[in-house]
Amino acid sequence: MLIQNYGVIGIEDLNVKGMMSNHKLARSVVDMSFFEFRRQLTYKAETAGVKVIVADMWFPSSKTCNVCGRKAVAMPLNVRE
Protein backbone atom coordinates (compact mmCIF):
# COMPACT_ATOMS: atom_id res chain seq x y z
CA MET A 1 0.00 0.00 0.00
CA LEU A 2 2.83 2.43 0.83
CA ILE A 3 4.68 1.73 -2.42
CA GLN A 4 1.53 2.10 -4.54
CA ASN A 5 0.37 5.37 -2.96
CA TYR A 6 3.56 7.37 -2.37
CA GLY A 7 6.47 8.40 -4.56
CA VAL A 8 8.76 9.25 -1.63
CA ILE A 9 8.76 7.49 1.75
CA GLY A 10 10.69 8.78 4.77
CA ILE A 11 11.74 6.50 7.61
CA GLU A 12 14.02 6.96 10.61
CA ASP A 13 17.12 4.87 11.21
CA LEU A 14 16.71 3.30 14.67
CA ASN A 15 19.21 1.91 17.15
CA VAL A 16 17.44 -1.43 17.47
CA LYS A 17 20.30 -3.02 19.40
CA GLY A 18 20.08 -0.22 21.98
CA MET A 19 16.30 -0.57 22.18
CA MET A 20 16.70 -4.30 22.82
CA SER A 21 18.76 -3.57 25.94
CA ASN A 22 15.74 -1.85 27.54
CA HIS A 23 13.78 -4.69 29.13
CA LYS A 24 10.53 -2.72 28.88
CA LEU A 25 10.87 -2.30 25.09
CA ALA A 26 12.63 -5.51 24.08
CA ARG A 27 9.60 -7.71 23.48
CA SER A 28 7.76 -5.04 21.50
CA VAL A 29 10.84 -4.36 19.38
CA VAL A 30 11.23 -8.05 18.54
CA ASP A 31 7.53 -8.33 17.67
CA MET A 32 7.74 -5.36 15.28
CA SER A 33 10.59 -6.81 13.15
CA PHE A 34 11.96 -3.37 12.25
CA PHE A 35 14.83 -4.77 10.19
CA GLU A 36 12.57 -6.95 8.05
CA PHE A 37 10.12 -4.09 7.48
CA ARG A 38 12.94 -1.80 6.29
CA ARG A 39 14.42 -4.53 4.08
CA GLN A 40 11.10 -5.27 2.40
CA LEU A 41 10.24 -1.59 2.01
CA THR A 42 13.60 -0.82 0.39
CA TYR A 43 13.39 -3.82 -1.94
CA LYS A 44 9.85 -3.10 -3.10
CA ALA A 45 10.55 0.62 -3.47
CA GLU A 46 13.52 -0.09 -5.75
CA THR A 47 11.44 -2.33 -8.02
CA ALA A 48 8.63 0.26 -8.22
CA GLY A 49 10.86 3.32 -8.63
CA VAL A 50 9.85 4.83 -5.28
CA LYS A 51 12.45 6.79 -3.30
CA VAL A 52 13.07 5.85 0.36
CA ILE A 53 14.75 8.51 2.48
CA VAL A 54 16.32 7.36 5.75
CA ALA A 55 16.72 10.04 8.44
CA ASP A 56 19.79 9.66 10.63
CA MET A 57 19.03 8.46 14.16
CA TRP A 58 20.74 11.54 15.61
CA PHE A 59 18.85 14.07 13.46
CA PRO A 60 16.85 16.31 15.88
CA SER A 61 13.49 15.83 14.15
CA SER A 62 11.45 16.13 17.35
CA LYS A 63 13.25 19.33 18.35
CA THR A 64 13.01 21.03 14.92
CA CYS A 65 10.04 23.24 14.00
CA ASN A 66 8.38 22.00 10.80
CA VAL A 67 7.33 25.56 9.85
CA CYS A 68 10.41 27.74 10.39
CA GLY A 69 13.15 25.11 10.89
CA ARG A 70 14.27 26.53 14.26
CA LYS A 71 15.81 23.90 16.54
CA ALA A 72 15.02 23.98 20.26
CA VAL A 73 18.07 23.76 22.51
CA ALA A 74 16.44 21.54 25.12
CA MET A 75 13.12 19.75 25.00
CA PRO A 76 11.91 17.12 27.46
CA LEU A 77 10.54 13.91 26.00
CA ASN A 78 7.03 14.53 27.34
CA VAL A 79 6.49 17.59 25.08
CA ARG A 80 7.88 16.13 21.82
CA GLU A 81 5.50 15.22 19.01
Tens of pLDDT along the chain (81 residues) come to: 999 999 999 998 887 777 778 777 777 777 777 788 889 999 999 999 999 999 888 888 778 888 898 888 887 878 766
Q: Are 31 and 63 in contact (CB under 8 A)?
A: no
Q: Which residues of 11-49 are buried (b: 16+ CB within 10 A; e: fewer)?
A: eeeeebeebeeeeeeeeebeeeeeeeebeebeeebeeee
18/77 Cα distance (integer angstroms)? 18
